[in-house]
Amino acid sequence: MRDANPQTIYLKDYQVPDYLIHTVELNFTLDERRTQVVSRLSLARNPNSQSSETALVLAGENLKLIRIVLNDDQELTEADYHITPESLIIHDVPQQRPFTLNIENEINPKANTALEGLYLSNGMLCTQCEAEGFRKITYFLDRPDVMAKFTTTLVGDKDRYPILLSNGNLIAQGDDDNNRHWVTWEDPFSKPCYLFALVAGQLECLEDSFTTLSGRKVGLQIFVEQHDIDKCGHAMQSLKNAMAWDEQVYGREYDLDLYMIVAVSHFNMGAMENKGLNIFNTKFVLARPDTATDSDYEHIEGVIGHEYFHNWTGNRITCRDWFQLSLKEGFTVFRDQEFSGDRSSKAVKRIEDVNMLRTRQFAEDAGPLAHPIRPDAYIEINNFYTLTVYEKGAEVVRMLHTLLGSEGFRKGCDCYFQRHDGQAVTCDDFVSAMEAANGRDLNQFRRWYSQAGTPVIHVIENYRTDEKTLALTIKQHCAPTPGQPAKELLHIPITVGLLDKQGNAIPCNLQESATGNYEVILQLTAAEQTFTFTGLAEKPVASILRNFSAPVKLTMERSLDELAFLLSYDSDTFNRWEAGQQLVGQVITGLIVDSQQGRPLNLPPIIIDAFKRVLSQSWEDLSYFSLLLSLPSEGYLAEQMQVVDVEAIHKAREFVVRTLAEQLQPELEALYLDNHRDESGQFDAGAIGRRRIKNVSLSFLSRLGNEKVQQWSTQQFNTANNMTDQIAALANIVNYPHPAKQECLTLFYQKWQQEALVIDKWFAIQASSPMPDAFATVVSLTAHPAFDLGTPNRVRAVIGSFTQANSLHFHAVNGQGYEFLANHVIALDILNPQVASRMLGPLTSWRRFDPTRQNLMKTQLERVMNSPSISRDVYEVASKSLM
């Protein structure tokens, strides 16, 4: 291993910093291979330090130290300090009064393939400092509770780096000798160094402005490479929408005069909320109807919103330590989810979010890497930017919103902003603000922060004709997770509604509090509780866990008839969809067993009738309609099985889709033709919905393999003037037998070869195809001249798609998929440990498979773990998953 003895960091060991930094003046002389960094820090001993240690320990990695000067006049010699691979230790610094340090060092951005710190992307210099990248730029107290005011001067060649950006406001600029120029930026807000950013390069800019509620005019700038300048309009509009939304919903205004976004092609994650200078993966900025799909447009809006919302939830108020990551991420994801829901369809957005949570986060929470939303230990913090911290973290904030109501939640937020503006705080501080503003005791609720695993809620119904009551007995249970053998009881909000036989909503009068409301939030706090509804002359149908009011698994005896009834009548859009998923899910689960036992497969008529009913209704929200027609994914079905059988899942699910296509062919064809209007790819709910329903129909029909539908696909592929339609057609051409497959793939590549993000789609579609030649295709794609291990988006498109979106072939019983992944993780780890460790994910779920696959997967994990000079990132994931 590169780091022979990786240390575990524990939350319980947290101590306040021994020193504080008040101001930082940075001076960069930019060069691809030799960037000079001069840093002037003003420091002082922290009066609250709990340590007797007086040495000053600054974090720093891969830095070439040139000089250190204390208090402007005392150049330190090697006797005064000590350098380790991870730090600079200065033995003796003033304890009683403030002091300055001038540190000069050099870095090599071109050699930085890990994309952390200062690095190069298509000739542009840019930074990524969260979580601990700043220490790869210069020596510093690289921890979020050290907040300082930054002034940054960038010096660079005028031709190579005409644009020079950093955080805050531009306060001075000028020319230097040797065709160089310089710019000074000042950020008036104190911030931790993980929010520092700089960008230098040849960039084009789209400009606009936004006037805040209080009448301040804020300049908005989006910087991209020249050829992308025509793809920034949607991002800009999304930014303005996000700024207005945060004012309306949270009363939060932007606080600088300038908000900049830069799009870069090489980025480990989605985007980064650096103060005033967000750096984005191009994938979440660039969109033109012919290059980006509707779902790309939606993701861009969501991520632009997310990073903007961080200005208050993350930047103005930040995390005390990295264990508190969900304080900013869970809250900000909740905010971006609500923003997106308000912008489009709340129902659709909620279903999409829950779908992702249940297929991916639930799997994480049930696996070897399960951790609470506030983890208590880590080896490499970059491994904890997880679905649990983000998505489950958002669910926990959503539960607070549900428990306190919109107004109570807003009061809690106001209290949080007022109490903690300018501070680095904890998840506990957030909950305390909610308690204080609402006069509530949330002590039991706090366990959601410390406890891993997905609780299972079991509901038993008991209707009594004589008493006209319905009793719901609800039990909660959470299985052990690594390091947490016994679980505590949680406070779980369960939203319930009742329907009469005609499908009408009826009042939910609880025995102890008859409110007459049509919906009630049950507070489950004990292991078992009974809630009794009164005044029910006939047995109602209960709609439970409406809007997915808690991140739990709900188990309950439900007949197919009852599910079909809820699918027809539930007024809760989430539970209506959920009833359909349960209905089809139960049937597919039965078919999986039939398939495993070699019995013939039959689709019960109730499913066909249910689909017919959905198809016969008229729907305003066509996106919601298309979700009602979509079957549970293979990933979701896998989650329901004791031992995952990818082949049986694929076979059973495909059987259902194909049978439905056969039985409903006329309806689906009509739906396709009705919605196949020539559209320019406008991004409005109506047009998006029409494209969605049309493409769902085409996907069903493509299973029939008939020439007519093949022609529809080819025609749609050839004539589409928007990427949603073109890529949907291509997916059907690639996923099912089609005579023009190679021709279409070639045409598409030729047409789009200059557009990296479109070519990512071309790679991803082939890598996730269920066709028998998928593995050979993937191997050949990794040899394609456009494949590049140094570009995370491309790695995700090929290796990520194959291993995460092609279970059937990744889990081939000969183990070739596993070996392929291990080979690439080992090769990638040398370049980019963060991405390598993320790619390893699919192997970590080895316990979920049959013994043969378990062995094959374990063998590859062991190979990865034992390969020489493996990174801390990959080591942590591999070793924990083998424990």
Cα four-point dihedral sign 80, 83, 88, 91:
negative
Q: How far is the CB of 274 from Zn ion (least distance, A)?
A: 12
Selection from Zn ion, ligand 0A1, none that 269 binds (CB < 5 to 8 A by kind) is ligand 0A1
Q: How far is the CB of 106 from ligand 0A1 (least distance, A)?
A: 23
Q: How far is the CB of 195 from ligand 0A1 (least distance, A)?
A: 9
Q: How far is the CB of 364 from Zn ion (least distance, A)?
A: 17
Residue 531, Cβ density class (10 Å: 0-12 exposed, 13-18 middle, ≥19 buried): buried
Selection from Zn ion, ligand 0A1, none that 552 binds (CB < 5 to 8 A by kind) is none
User: In the structure encoding, which two tokens stand for residue 382, read together?
Assistant: 């970059």
Annotated catalytic residue 25: no
- Considering only 329, 572, 634, 876, the residue that binds ligand 0A1 (CB under 6 A) is 329
Selection from Zn ion, ligand 0A1, none that 832 binds (CB < 5 to 8 A by kind) is none
CB 610 within 8 A of CB 631: no
Residues numbered 131-170 forming contacts with ligand 0A1, rule: CB under 6 A: 131
Q: How far is the CB of 452 from ligand 0A1 (least distance, A)?
A: 21
373 binds ligand 0A1 (CB under 6 A): no
**3-state SS, residue 281:** strand
881 binds ligand 0A1 (CB under 6 A): no
- Considering only 152, 326, 382, 438, the residue that binds ligand 0A1 (CB under 6 A) is 382
Which residue is it, tokens 């306040």? 16
Residues numbered 289-318 forming contacts with ligand 0A1, rule: CB under 6 A: 306-307
Minimum CB distance to ligand 0A1 smaller for 309 or for 624: 309
Minimum CB distance to ligand 0A1 smaller for 153 or for 383: 383
Q: How far is the CB of 309 from ligand 0A1 (least distance, A)?
A: 10
Which residue is it, tokens 């005044």? 535
Q: Name the one range near ligand 0A1 by CB under 6 A: 5-13, 70-78, 128-136, 422-430.
A: 128-136
Residues numbered 686-725 forming contacts with Zn ion, rule: CB under 5 A: none
Q: How far is the CB of 599 from Zn ion (least distance, A)?
A: 48
Q: How far is the CB of 360 from ligand 0A1 (least distance, A)?
A: 17
Minimum CB distance to ligand 0A1 smaller for 45 or for 872: 872
130 binds ligand 0A1 (CB under 6 A): yes
Minimum CB distance to Zn ion smaller for 332 or for 481: 332
Minimum CB distance to ligand 0A1 smaller for 243 or for 442: 243
Q: How far is the CB of 819 from Zn ion (least distance, A)?
A: 35
- Considering only 128, 509, 782, 832, the residue that binds ligand 0A1 (CB under 6 A) is 128
Selection from Zn ion, ligand 0A1, none that 402 binds (CB < 5 to 8 A by kind) is none
DSSP string for 15-39: ---SEEEEEEEEEEE--SS-EEEEE
> From residue 435, how far is each of 413, 447, 739 by CA, in Å?
11, 15, 63
Residues numbered 262-291 forming contacts with ligand 0A1, rule: CB under 6 A: 268-273
- Give the list of residues 6+ apart from residue 237 with CB closer than 8 angstroms, or none: none
d(CA 568, CA 547) in angstroms, rounded, equals: 16
> From residue 1, how far is each of 144, 865, 867, 879 by CA, in Å?
28, 9, 8, 12
Minimum CB distance to ligand 0A1 smaller for 297 or for 385: 385
Within 13 Å and on the Cβ side, how many CA atoms surround 690? Answer: 15
Minimum CB distance to ligand 0A1 smaller for 115 or for 524: 115
> Using CB atoms, what's the residue nearest to ligand 0A1?
269
Other CB atoms within a 10 A radius of the CB of residue 77 amount to 8
Selection from Zn ion, ligand 0A1, none that 760 binds (CB < 5 to 8 A by kind) is none
State which H helix or E strand residue 802 sits in.
helix 801-804
> From residue 661, how far is each of 148, 711, 787 by CA, in Å?
62, 17, 36
d(CA 563, CA 575) in angstroms, rounded, equals: 10
- Closest to 232 measured CA to CA, from 198, 204, 257, 212: 204
- Closest to 60 measured CA to CA, from 17, 115, 104: 104
State which H helix or E strand residue 175 sits in.
strand 169-175
Q: Name the one range near ligand 0A1 by CB under 6 A: 124-132, 135-143, 536-544, 755-763.
A: 124-132
Q: How many residues bind ligand 0A1 (CB under 6 A)?
A: 15
Q: How many residues bind Zn ion (CB under 5 A)?
A: 2
Which residue is it, tokens 């022609």? 711
CA distance from start to end of the chain: 18
Residues numbered 813-842 forming contacts with ligand 0A1, rule: CB under 6 A: 834
Q: How far is the CB of 131 from Zn ion (least distance, A)?
A: 12
Which residue is it, tokens 């989430």? 574
Provide the residue count of the chain. 883
Selection from ligand 0A1, Zn ion, none that 615 binds (CB < 5 to 8 A by kind) is none
Supply angle C-alpha 660, 662, 666, rounded to 5: 100
Q: Which of 225, 307, 338, 364 is catalytic?
A: 307
Minimum CB distance to Zn ion smaller for 329 or for 572: 329
Residues numbered 292-351 forming contacts with Zn ion, rule: CB under 5 A: 329, 332
HEC string of 599-646 equals CCCCCCHHHHHHHHHHHHCCCCCHHHHHHHCCCCCHHHHHHCCCCCCH
Selection from ligand 0A1, Zn ion, none that 385 binds (CB < 5 to 8 A by kind) is ligand 0A1
Minimum CB distance to ligand 0A1 smaller for 231 or for 335: 335
Selection from Zn ion, ligand 0A1, none that 270 binds (CB < 5 to 8 A by kind) is ligand 0A1
Minimum CB distance to ligand 0A1 smaller for 284 or for 569: 284
d(CA 367, CA 883) in angstroms, rounded, equals: 11
Helices (H) and strands (E) counted in the chain, each on its own, are 29, 32
Phi, psi of 712 (to 5 degrees): -60, -45
C-alpha gyration radius of the chain: 28
Strand ranges (E), 13-123:
19-29, 35-45, 56-59, 64-70, 74-75, 81-84, 87-90, 99-107, 117-121
Q: How far is the CB of 339 from Zn ion (least distance, A)?
A: 13
HEC string of 478-505 equals CCCECCECCCCCCCEEEEEEEECCCCCE
Selection from ligand 0A1, Zn ion, none that 307 binds (CB < 5 to 8 A by kind) is ligand 0A1
Minimum CB distance to Zn ion smaller for 307 or for 570: 307
Q: Residues interacting with Zn ion, by CB under 5 A? A: 329, 332
Q: Which residues are catalytic?
A: 307
Q: Residues interacting with ligand 0A1, by CB under 6 A? A: 128, 130-131, 268-273, 306-307, 329, 382, 385, 834
